[in-house]
Amino acid sequence: MEIILVFIFALGYLAITLEHTLKIDKLIPALAMMAILWAVIALGHMPVYEVNTTLKKLDPTHIDEILLHHLGKTAEIIIFLLGAMTIVEIIDYFNGFSTIKSFIKTKSKRSLLCIFAVLAFILSAIIDNLTATIVLITILQKVIIDRDTRLWFAGLIIISANAGGAWSPIGDVTTTMLWIADKVTTIKLITYLFLPSVVCVIVPVFVAFFLPAFKGNIKMDDIDDDDAIHKHGSTMLYLGLLAIVFVPVFKTITHLPPYVGMMFSLALVSTFAEIFSAAKINITSIDQESDAASHHSPVHKSLSKIELPSILFFLGILLAVAALESLGMLFAFAETLNTTIPNTDIVIMLLGFGSAVIDNVPLVAASIGMFSEPTDSGLWHFIAFSAGTGGSMLIIGSAAGVVAMGMEKIDFFWYFKNISWLALLGFISGSITFMLLRGFVV
């Protein structure tokens, strides 16, 4: 029976990986795989277990209890992401991100590369790497006219955004998963990964300086009238970013789950958004007066624009991996892996290479069930770094790469030929830096 489950999971995984070839959104195989796996477990009356991380053993439990347990853990991540996505959309509603474009004055390609790399690195740590990539490529399209030049900048933005997301608990979905699962804490995550992430950006950017694509100056497009900054745009940008950054602080002070802090931040940002738009503060009512106001409400409009397919994908893939974890299969696989390859650093680096080929969300979800190291073990931080930055080696290996591919119509093989080797240099350099730094972190 377990062989059948592994086959179903592998088939679903393959469909997710080949979503662009099959032209089927990856949420469909993720949801189908999840439902079928749990159905087979229920119909086959298979024994399920909960991993006891303290004693590093499996405790028998009932399917209803373990499913509810995993649903609760998954819901924490989903609600957190919903809050973060809504805040970002509210900022965009006020055209707040146009404030960033007003800071760009230089025409030097190398100077622009530094500016976009730094912006991608910082923004991705605050609003996540996917959103940071969307924002910066949108700005890039308005700043650089020549498409061939833009492609090179987009490639370095992907590398920088993924590196920036790795060292922040709110910068990448996989890092957020580890944070919410209490595998890493904010202070230790930054201590362990900030410097390796910086190296992961600096090395590719430095090498890119000597490439012909980044020599000379560019022709800059004029700022469009449509991009005129909203009178509250800058305020909402700074308020939204501060609200998201406040979430880890809220968790540290209250010891409550991160999604509680994110909901508080969303409520705060929404309040100012409604005041600035002169709409009624009535988010939940469904009466006619509220419906009429909703057409002018930034909160309602922002909620309608969030990426629900991505949310459903996370639901499907996390619960699918949870099904294998509940059977003890991931725990057993980790034992076999540790016996076969005693050096866990090699295993985790292979995970980084794997995240470039297949989605890093299920890889990290599986690793959470595979290993039972305590909170803030170096293993968890290395997993966060490898999964976050390894995806840059292929354009389909990260959410940032996929969205850039869609926005700029970047060819897979063009990226593989011109950008992948730069990403590989960054990944290897950052990994070595982590291994050297790890011995000094207490």
Residue 334's pLDDT is 67
Q: Phi first, then psi: give them for residue 7, nearest 5 degrees.
A: -65, -45
CA–CA separation, 8 and 31 (whole Å): 12
Of the given ranges (217-226, 298-307, 413-422), which has the lowest mean pLDDT? 217-226
* Residue 35 domain flag: no
Indicate the pTM of the whole model: 0.73
* Residue 72 domain flag: yes
Take residue 53 and report the two structure tokens written for it: 């991380």
Using N-to-C axis directions, what is the helix angle for 27-43 and 63-93, rounded to 10°?
A: 170
Percent of the chain residues past pLDDT 90, beyond the cut: 28
* Residue 333 domain flag: yes
Take residue 35 and report the two structure tokens written for it: 């439902």
Take residue 317 and report the two structure tokens written for it: 């893939």
Instruction: For residue range 332-371, list pLDDT tens digits in order.
Output: 776 777 778 778 888 889 888 888 876 677 678 778 877 7
Q: Which amino acid is at 54?
A: T
Strand partners, 50: 59
pLDDT class of 222 with cuts at 50, 70, 90: very low
Contacts of 428 (CB under 8 A, 6+ apart): none
Q: Report the candidate in 185, 150, 235 with the shortest Cα–Cα distance to residue 384.
A: 185
Instruction: For residue range 311-342, list pLDDT tens digits in order.
Output: 888 788 888 888 888 887 777 776 777 778 77
Contacts of 91 (CB under 8 A, 6+ apart): 97, 236, 237, 240, 241
* Residue 58 domain flag: no
Residue 401's pLDDT is 83
Of the given ranges (266-270, 305-309, 430-434), which has the lowest mean pLDDT? 305-309
How many domains are there within the chain?
A: 1
Domain range for 139: 64-438
Cα atoms found within 13 Å of the Cα of residue 279, Cβ hemisphere only: 22
CA distances from 237 to 106, 120, 403 (A): 23, 15, 22
Contact assessment for residue 140 and residue 154, using Cβ atoms and an 8 Å cutoff? yes
* Arithmetic mean of pLDDT over the chain: 83
Of the given ranges (153-167, 301-315, 361-375), which has the lowest mean pLDDT? 361-375
* Residue 290 domain flag: yes
CA–CA separation, 178 and 365 (whole Å): 8
Q: Report the candidate in 391, 390, 429, 380 with the shortest Cα–Cα distance to residue 192.
A: 380
* Residue 215 domain flag: yes
Contacts of 366 (CB under 8 A, 6+ apart): 321, 324, 325, 330
Q: Which amino acid is at 184?
A: V
Q: Is residue 27 scored above 60 in pLDDT?
A: yes
* Residue 282 domain flag: yes
Residue 393's pLDDT is 92
Contact assessment for residue 213 and residue 152, using Cβ atoms and an 8 Å cutoff? yes
Q: Report the candidate in 318, 396, 417 with the shortest Cα–Cα distance to residue 354.
A: 396
CA–CA separation, 126 and 176 (whole Å): 12
Q: DSSP assignment of 9-36, as one string?
A: HHHHHHHHHTHHHHT--THHHHHHHHHH
* Residue 169 domain flag: yes
Contact assessment for residue 13 and residue 358, using Cβ atoms and an 8 Å cutoff? yes
